[in-house]
Amino acid sequence: MSELSKTFEPREIEDRWYGHWESEGLFRPHRPDAQPWTIVMPPPNVTGSLHIGHALDITLQDVLVRRERMRGKDALWVVGTDHAGIATQMVVERTIAGQGLTRQKLGRDAFLEIVWDWKNTSGGMITRQLRRLGASCDWAHERFTMDEGFSRAVTKVFVELYRRGLLYRDKRLVNWDPKFQTAISDLEVETKDLQGRFWTLSYPLADNSGAIQVATTRPETMLADMAVAVHQDDDRYKALIGKQIRHPLTGRLIPIIADEHADPELGSGAVKITPGHDFNDYEVGRRAGIRPADMLNMFDAQAFVVQTRDGLIPSEFLGLSREEARKAVVARLEDEGSLVGVEDRVIPTPFGDRSGAIIEPWLTDQWYVDAAKLALPALQAVKKGNIKIVPETWTKTWFNWLENIQPWCVSRQLWWGHRIPAWYAEDGHVFVAETEEEAKDQAGGRPLRQDEDVLDTWFSSALWPFATLGWPGETDDLRRHYPNDVLISGFDILFFWDARMAMQGIEFMGEVPWRTLYLHGLVRDAHGQKMSKSKGNTVDPLVLVDQYGADALRFTLAAMESQGRDIKLDEKRVEGYRNFATKLWNAARFLKMNGIGASDSIAAPTAPELAVNRWIIGEVVDTLEKLNRAFDELRYDEMADAIYHFVWGTFCDWYVELIKGAFDEETKRVAAWVFDQILVMLHPLMPFITEELWHSMPSDGNKRDSDIVVAKWPEPKAEVDAEAKAELDWLIRLVSEVRSARTELNVPPSAKLNLFAADASDETAGRLDRNHATLSRLARLESIQLSSFPGQGAAQVVVDEATFALPLEGVIDVGAEKARLDRAAAAAEKERDSLAQRLSNPNFTERAKPEAVEKARLDHEAKSAEAERLRAALERLG
RNA sequence: GGGCGCGUAGCUCAGUGGUAGAGCACACCCUUCACACGGGUGGGGUCGUAGGUUCGAACCCUACCGCGCCCACCA
């Protein structure tokens, strides 16, 4: 491996190093005495595949855990997959449908066997894909939300919550998904605006004394109407309160009731009440004293019309879908002259987020978690600062949601999931227990039937931060790694997952699940559009990895991640950071070519003689400081920025250029050390190329003691050498000025010029002397003289106190040079004048901070001097 | 209806009370012995609009305009 190939081939090294890291157990070295550091990966759906959102999420986590591992911590990144109830069952049902099968035909046990098979065969894809990104998680302890231990934890939590009165069974309206035929939680409902209509109907009074008009957006539900409500203060209807209505289609006698829900401003001011199929009406019904069990239901599980308990729905409507029923009802009302008016109207309509079906409020028995009680401590935890949310702006959202939280429906009418540990006796009495035996004991031997339903997937994933560590067992892992240090998740699952983890974690562990909650945004396409399969604008992260390498993709995602903003991913950026990797690769080749290999020490070489070496060590220290600060503040963009500019802008563009042709032992030692620091600092962001180069750097016959994945994060004791910094800063400015003048005056790159330094201080003279060779090479100079140029026709540049002349007799376009100098002088004068104006304002000198005044004075002095010198240079040209 | 965020160079985005930055793109030059996935140089912004606070605002406050997102039962 001593010879680096001419081009950097990510694919080959990525597979090789990942395999090495994993098989050697380097992602979780045994460090029982080290300070623990913990993060859990949001478990991806077991049957899912990697999308760009995962890539971002994984990158952000891996960057952190790699640095903590390098800092010597007992770093643990918990990994595993989620059984994803609805999503997985849906996929499998679709598959067996191809063979003409349904789960009902198969029966529960046979169906579940198929799902498990499916999970076992296709479940490994996403975890293989995570590896391609370089995710350094603890694969040896990979978990699954339905593995044995985890399932035990889920059952225990359910039973405990029940015993603590925080979980109960209740009959009420629930969001029913008629396509999947299951209840879903409020969070799984997406409200979308749909173009609909607003019908006004006429309901006759039972005593034939007249009629009352009601308005509705869902006429079909009138078949289950149980009342008409008006506002108690509405003079139009006051007298009618308590009277009966003969329902137009069913003939059902229903009362006119007073309820504040009826808005006199809206429609006719009277509203039909269907407690069994509308959330508002349900509440009105409750207030009117109707028990949930007595509420009329007119739909089956697939939302087809069925007969109400009172048998009053005319047979022509039975068996119709909601849409058909609506048409039929409207048609009949029209025939009967009961339809008073129709207008178009936009209707906010609830959809199931997975099924896309319109949700039907339906009366069922479900299990609910008393979320309001669990929410309180989670709210407090953020208020007291036990959980820090980054970026902070999300705390308000956190409070707002938790403060208004509703009971959480956790039962699902599915088969794939954790079966609810509740058993019913013949009489309906329920026994909740961790095992059937326990339940039987409680029931005193009566025959029992287990609840058919399973739990919401999020109920189990909420336990991820502690159930993966062995809870309810009191394991060493649990003691050391709970609470986790940080959680990284997209804000889209803030309520689904993060908040529920906080609630369950505090309830069962008595302590917050993580100290910091970092929320990142969505990855969008280059134009800011949300990526979706239907739009066809999705970016497959693995395609990018194939094309540019995992390091480039990781670096891009980190560089574009600035605290929570959505990321517009542009492939050009990935390409750019691939180029960056290549640049680094070639810098390594260059160093090796010149006998520079691995550093023999972790500590910075002490007090080098050459300024350039002292300077670059200081630059490393600077960069490390920036990097560490960025890590502490979770500023990924700043991490990337700091290392990128150091590697390319400082190390490659200047240091390497400066040391070319002068590879003395000291420089070799310093260069080797600096490059090692670069590899280590860059490793969290670009793990693969850094590991490859780490092992490529040692000269023939030598080897590194260990891999960079477990190398020591830099802690150079060195300090920034101010003198060296000043000197190199000067050198860079001088070279840049000369280059700029050359280009602007169209001096051929090959032409070598003489340089005359006028008014040079002793310090400048010394610097010119010390840097004679590099200066000549970088600025393409023939000679350097410490005197003013006696002749005419020279380009001139001003750096600090000195004026440098580059004689260009015959070549120079005096007009162009004059224009150039004039522009430079004008710029300096403009700044000088603006500073002068500020300084002449007593309000400024008296009220501004003394440092600001002092700085303005110094700047003014410098700019005045510079302007003067430039004007003098201009004069010299005649 | 409530809440949040955004509007800075052609594009994507940093920035923050003291006279605007990056990457890409663009223009010109360079086959200089690490790298053309490169090197050098350069052009380009009245920081959405209007007020206010301040010695000083792109940065703080107010209003407005435009864009996006989240939450909410208006029949």
State the residue for tokens 């390098």: A70
- pLDDT for position A3: 62
Neighbouring C-alpha atoms within 13 Å toward the C-beta of A680? 26
Query: What does the pLDDT look like over A685-694, one tens digit per residue?
Result: 999 999 999 9
- pLDDT for position A209: 87
C-alpha span between A796 and A755 (Å, rounded)? 9
C-alpha span between A468 and A481 (Å, rounded)? 10
Minimum-distance nucleotide, CA of A349 to C1': B73
Nearest protein residue to B73's C1' (by CA)? A280
Question: Does position A728 have pLDDT exceeding 60, yes or no?
Answer: yes
- pLDDT for position A808: 84
Q: What is the largest CA-CA distance in chain A?
A: 120
- pLDDT for position A140: 93
Question: Does position A36 have pLDDT exceeding 90, yes or no?
Answer: yes
Nearest protein residue to B2's C1' (by CA)? A400
Bases of chain B with protein Cβ within 7 A: 3-6, 11-15, 18-19, 22-25, 28-30, 32, 34-35, 37-42, 54-56, 69-75
Q: In Å, what is the separation between the CA of A366 and the C1' of B49?
A: 54
C-alpha span between A725 and A738 (Å, rounded)? 20
Q: In Å, what is the separation between the CA of A812 and the C1' of B26?
A: 28
- pLDDT for position A628: 93
Residues 6+ apart with CB under 8 A from A564: A390, A391, A393, A394, A491, A519, A520, A521
Nearest protein residue to B13's C1' (by CA)? A560
Q: In Å, what is the separation between the CA of A778 and the C1' of B25?
A: 28
Minimum-distance nucleotide, CA of A856 to C1': B18
Q: In Å, what is the separation between the CA of A382 and the C1' of B51?
A: 38
Helices (H) and strands (E) in chain A, counts: 30, 29
pTM confidence score: 0.93
Question: Does position A288 have pLDDT exceeding 80, yes or no?
Answer: yes
Query: Average pLDDT for residues A831-856, to the nearest whole number?
Result: 86
- pLDDT for position A532: 73
Query: What does the pLDDT look like over A772-784, one tens digit per residue?
Result: 999 999 999 999 9
Minimum-distance nucleotide, CA of A843 to C1': B55
ipTM for the assembly: 0.94
Q: In Å, what is the separation between the CA of A527 and the C1' of B11?
A: 10
Q: What is the token pair recorded at A454?
A: 């399973």
- The amino acid that residue A819 corresponds to is A
Q: In Å, what is the separation between the CA of A597 and the C1' of B1?
A: 67
Within A48-172, residue ranges assigned H as helices are 52-70, 85-97, 103-106, 108-122, 125-132, 148-163
Question: Does position A821 have pLDDT exceeding 50, yes or no?
Answer: yes
Question: Does position A1 have pLDDT exceeding 70, yes or no?
Answer: no
Lowest-pLDDT range, A5-9, A532-536, A746-750?
A532-536
Query: What does the pLDDT look like over A660-719, one tens digit per residue?
Result: 978 899 999 999 999 999 999 999 999 999 999 999 998 877 888 899 999 999 987 778
Average pLDDT, chain A: 91
Query: Average pLDDT for residues A6-10, to the nearest whole number?
Result: 80
Return the exposure string of A498-525: e unless at least 16 CB atoms fall within 10 Å of the residue's CB, then b: bbbbbbbbbbbbeebbbebbbbbbbbbb
Query: What does the pLDDT look like over A556-600, one tens digit per residue?
Result: 999 999 877 888 888 889 999 999 999 999 999 999 999 898 888
> How far does CA A324 lie from the centroid of its chain?
44
Q: In Å, what is the separation between the CA of A572 and the C1' of B24?
A: 7
C-alpha span between A645 and A167 (Å, rounded)? 55
Main-chain dihedrals φ then ψ at residue A547, nearest 5 degrees: -80, -40
Query: Average pLDDT for residues A407-421, to the nearest whole number?
Result: 95
- pLDDT for position A2: 45
Question: Does position A364 have pLDDT exceeding 90, yes or no?
Answer: yes
Residues A808 and A742 sit within 8 Å (Cβ to Cβ): no
Question: Does position A229 have pLDDT exceeding 70, yes or no?
Answer: yes
Query: What does the pLDDT look like over A16-33, one tens digit per residue?
Result: 999 999 999 999 999 999
**CA-based nearest residue to A663, from A739, A752, A773:** A773
A15-A18-A19-A25 Cα dihedral, nearest 10 degrees: 180
C-alpha span between A168 and A365 (Å, rounded)? 10
Lowest-pLDDT range, A213-227, A605-619, A829-843?
A829-843
Query: Average pLDDT for residues A797-811, to the nearest whole number?
Result: 87
Query: What does the pLDDT look like over A96-155, one tens digit per residue?
Result: 998 899 999 999 999 999 999 999 988 889 999 999 999 999 999 999 999 999 999 999
Residue A361 φ/ψ region, left for φ over 0, alpha for ψ in the -120 to 50 degree band, beta for the rest:
beta
CA separation, residue A34 to residues A30, A68, A465, A486, A808 (Å): 9, 11, 20, 18, 66
